[in-house]
Every structure is written in structure tokens, then in C-alpha cells.
Amino acid sequence: MSLASEILIVAGCALAAIGGIGVVRFRDVYSRMHAAAKAPTLGLVLVAIGAAIEIGTLLAATTLTLVVIMQLLSSPVGAHALSRASRRQVDIEMDAVDDLTRDERSSS
């Protein structure tokens, strides 16, 4: 494997590991969503670039581009759906302002 693609793949896997450690260490649900939505996404992008360099065919490059686009679209939407749904179920503490609760209370 060429050096560039090895570095990229290792970096991508390192980002996934950071995401995994992040969901263990962060203390509330929303912070864990931060880690789970951002770190593996960039990790996937790096690994896909490394794999595209390594395999080298046009088919692999276009398929990996599609995978990256799909992940970039679906990861934030999944995090948003989850965070919106868990607002009612989970007691989440905030340290500072909470505009959403205030607006929900004032409109209901």
C-alpha cells in the first residue's frame, strides 16, 4: 500500500476511535451525539480518499464518492432526528440558556 493511502486510512480509523472514546467519556446524551456525528464522518471521508488512491480504478473512485455523499447527508440528519426525539424522553441538563424549552412553553 502506498504511504499516502496508509496514512489516510490510519488517520480515518483514528478519528473513528476518537468518536468511540468520545461517546464513552462525554457526560450527557447531546455531547455524545456531537462525537458520534462528527468524528466518524470525517474518518469515513479520509478512509474513502485513501482507498480511492490505493485501488485506483474509476469505478472505485465514483462509488466511494457516492458513499461519502450519502454519509455526509445521512449522518447529520440521523443526529438531528435522534436529538429531537429524545428531548421529551431524556432529562438533559443545560449549563446556560435553553431557548427551546422557553419557546415551547410560551407557545403551548
Partner 1 sequence: MNVIALVLLVVAASGFMYRLLRGPSLPDRVVGLDGLQSVVVIAIIALAAQADSGITIETVLVAVLVGFVGTTALSRFIERRGS
Partner 2 sequence: MTPTHRLPALIIWLTFVWAMLWGDFGLANLLSGLGIALFVVWIARPTGVRGIQLTSFHPVSAVVFVVYFFFQLVKSNFQVAWEVITPGSNVNRAIVAIPMHVATDGLVALVGNVITLTPGTLTVDVHEATEDGGFPTLYVHMLHFDDVDAMRRDVLTWERLAVRAFGTKQQRADVDRVRAAWVSRSAS
- Chain residues 8-47 in contact with partner 1, contact rule CB under 8 A: 9-10, 12-14, 16-17, 19-24, 29, 32-33, 36-37, 40-41, 43-44, 47
Torsion of CA 24, 29, 30, 35, to 10 degrees: 20
User: CA of 102: how far to CAs of 76, 80, 92, in Å?
Assistant: 25, 19, 14
Residue 108 neighbours by CB under 8 Å, 6+ apart: none
Q: Which residues make up the interface to partner 1 (CB under 8 A)? A: 1, 5-6, 9-10, 12-14, 16-17, 19-24, 29, 32-33, 36-37, 40-41, 43-44, 47-48, 50-51, 54-55, 57, 59-60, 63-64, 66-67, 70-71, 74-75, 77-79, 81-86, 88-90
